[in-house]
Amino acid sequence: MAPGPFAGPQAQQAAREVNTASLCRIGQETVQDIVYRTMEIFQLLRNMQLPNGVTYHTGTYQDRLTKLQDNLRQLSVLFRKLRLVYDKCNENCGGMDPIPVEQLIPYVEEDGSKNDDRAGPPRFASEERREIAEVNKKLKQKNQQLKQIMDQLRNLIWDINAMLAMRN
């Protein structure tokens, strides 16, 4: 919708000004377009034959070459657009203090309480992942031991049944 004739200069400026969330959405859509165009380029390249002396229809070759060049031009435009969006986002977020990603990931302690920065030193997600990997490794070892014990019991029961059958 275009601003009406009664809209003042402030309304027009607000319409031109885009917030950071909208820029991020535009950036995401641009990245999706870039991926789509790149996939089209690879599809065209895969279907093109190399000029190795084999007779090839020049009309088909020219058509595919034109499509390839058009996709490359559009890809170049999309990358320029993404650069503009990136620069504008950085400009809008220039005064913000960066927060480490590890502090943005919540986790639950073993006792069920959530971690607060006031409760003690923060534990990072990488530490949690390492601890989980260690517990999984120990669990696999215990499962292997239980499997061996079950196999031994199965063999023992088989032997006992075989001896009872021989006695009868």
Q: What is the pLDDT of residue 84?
A: 94
CA–CA gap between residue 142 and residue 145 (Å, rounded)? 5
CA–CA gap between residue 31 and residue 28 (Å, rounded)? 5
Q: What is the pLDDT of residue 148?
A: 95
Q: Write the DSSP string, 91-116.
A: HHTTTSPP--HHHHS--B-TTSPBP-
Q: What is the pLDDT of residue 61?
A: 77
CA–CA gap between residue 125 and residue 104 (Å, rounded)? 10
Q: What is the pLDDT of residue 123?
A: 59
Q: What is the pLDDT of residue 32?
A: 96
pTM of the model: 0.48
Residue 144: CA count within 13 A, CB half-sphere: 6
Q: What is the pLDDT along the chain (168 residues), one digit of tens a residue?
A: 444 444 455 544 444 467 888 899 999 999 999 999 999 999 888 877 666 656 567 777 788 889 999 999 999 999 999 999 999 888 888 777 777 767 777 766 665 555 454 445 555 677 888 899 999 999 999 999 999 999 999 999 999 999 999 987
* CB contact at 8 A, 68 and 9: no
